[in-house]
Amino acid sequence: MSTHAHSTAAEGHIGWFEHTVAGIAGSIERAVFTEEHARKPGWLQGVDPRAKMGMFVVLVLAAGLANSLLVLALLYAAILAAARASRVPFDFFVRRVWVGIPFFAGVVIIPSIFFATGPRLFDLTLGPLHIAPAIAGLLGAVVFVARVGVSVSLAVLLVLTTQWADVLKSLQALRVPQIFILLLSMTYRYIFLFLHAMNSLFEARKSRMVGRTDGAEHRRWITGSMMSLLNRSFKMSNDVYSAMMARGFTGRIHTYQTYRMTPPDWLAVALALGLAVGAGLLGRVIA
């Protein structure tokens, strides 16, 4: 019985390592797959990145100011149409946004459901616990979740249809502080390197596992691996910064791409502005 229990525990640890490695590899593959979408010959892929950034800002503001589910539904329908025209897979796009948004946004908004004033959906008492959600609070929570979902969908669509270097240059055109752009650039570039390093650590650990190991040994290995990655990241950051300074880095990012706004780009911006203004007017009429 004891031998079987130890064997089961060892198999459980091995399965946990396998799932962790698979998760890391999946993260890398999803990131690479995202860049593939940005290279497809779609509608948004052909729009100037600066125009796309302007469209994104305008529509996010429109979604953030919308208080009507109908307005938010129309905005989301326009986003889905743009994703379709840009050849972004429908299920991939929708799943990427709505898998976690309802949960995380719901956690934030749940208290307001019970503290809002007005009529109650039901009134339930379970011992010392009194549950009485307000109808106005529930409607407000639904609008809040929809607003967050539309805004995140816009951000995901922007990233899916724009290469990361173009996103950074668009931020530069909008006069975003250089230090912020630099941090984003370095984080995006080196996160993949450390994901590969973590993947290598897990693979090396798995190839050396012989016999049974206990939980204490696994905890020591995980702690040591975290410290090793942390020390490696600090050392690499210093080395990279020294190399950049040695090559004349002055704090400003330079890119080889040059952009020119064309009539289709201006038309796309005008379309986004018209959609935002129409959403605002419709929201005022409904209210």
**Please, which residues have CB within 8 angstroms of residue 117's CB and are 6 or more apart in sequence?**
134, 136
Domain ranges of the chain: 2-176+262-286
Find residue 131's DSSP bridge partners: 124
> How many of the other CB atoms lie within 10 Å of CB of 153?
24
Q: DSSP class of residue 235?
A: H
Q: Which of 142, 154, 69 is nearest to 109 (CA)?
A: 142
Terminal alpha carbon distance of the chain: 69
User: Which CB contacts under 8 angstroms, 24+ apart, belong to 260-267?
Assistant: 260/48, 261/48, 261/50, 261/51, 262/48, 264/46, 264/47, 265/47, 265/48, 265/51, 266/51
pLDDT tens-place string over residues 18-73: 566 556 556 555 655 566 777 888 898 888 888 899 899 999 999 988 888 899 99
Structure confidence at residue 6 (pLDDT): 45
pLDDT tens-place string over residues 224-260: 777 877 788 778 878 887 887 888 877 666 666 677 8
Q: Which has more confidence, 120 or 94?
A: 94
Average pLDDT for residues 213-234, to the nearest whole number? 74
Q: Is residue 270 within 8 Å of residue 52, measured between CB atoms?
A: no
Structure confidence at residue 1 (pLDDT): 46
Q: Is residue 133 within 8 Å of residue 121, measured between CB atoms?
A: yes
Q: What's the Cα-to-Cα distance from 199 to each of 23, 195, 230, 231, rounded to whole Å?
A: 9, 6, 15, 17
**In this structure, which amino acid lies at residue 118?**
G
pLDDT tens-place string over residues 106-160: 777 777 777 777 777 777 667 677 677 777 778 888 888 889 889 989 988 998 8
What is the spatial distance between Cα 31 and Cα 33, in angstroms, rounded to a whole number?
A: 5
Phi-psi region of 211 (alpha: psi -120 to 50; beta: other; left: phi over 0): left
Average pLDDT for residues 255-277, to the nearest whole number? 86
pTM of this prediction exceeds 0.85: no
Model confidence at 287, in pLDDT bands (50, 70, 90)? low
Structure confidence at residue 145 (pLDDT): 87
Structure confidence at residue 61 (pLDDT): 92
pLDDT tens-place string over residues 154-205: 988 998 888 887 888 888 777 888 778 777 777 777 777 777 777 777 777 7
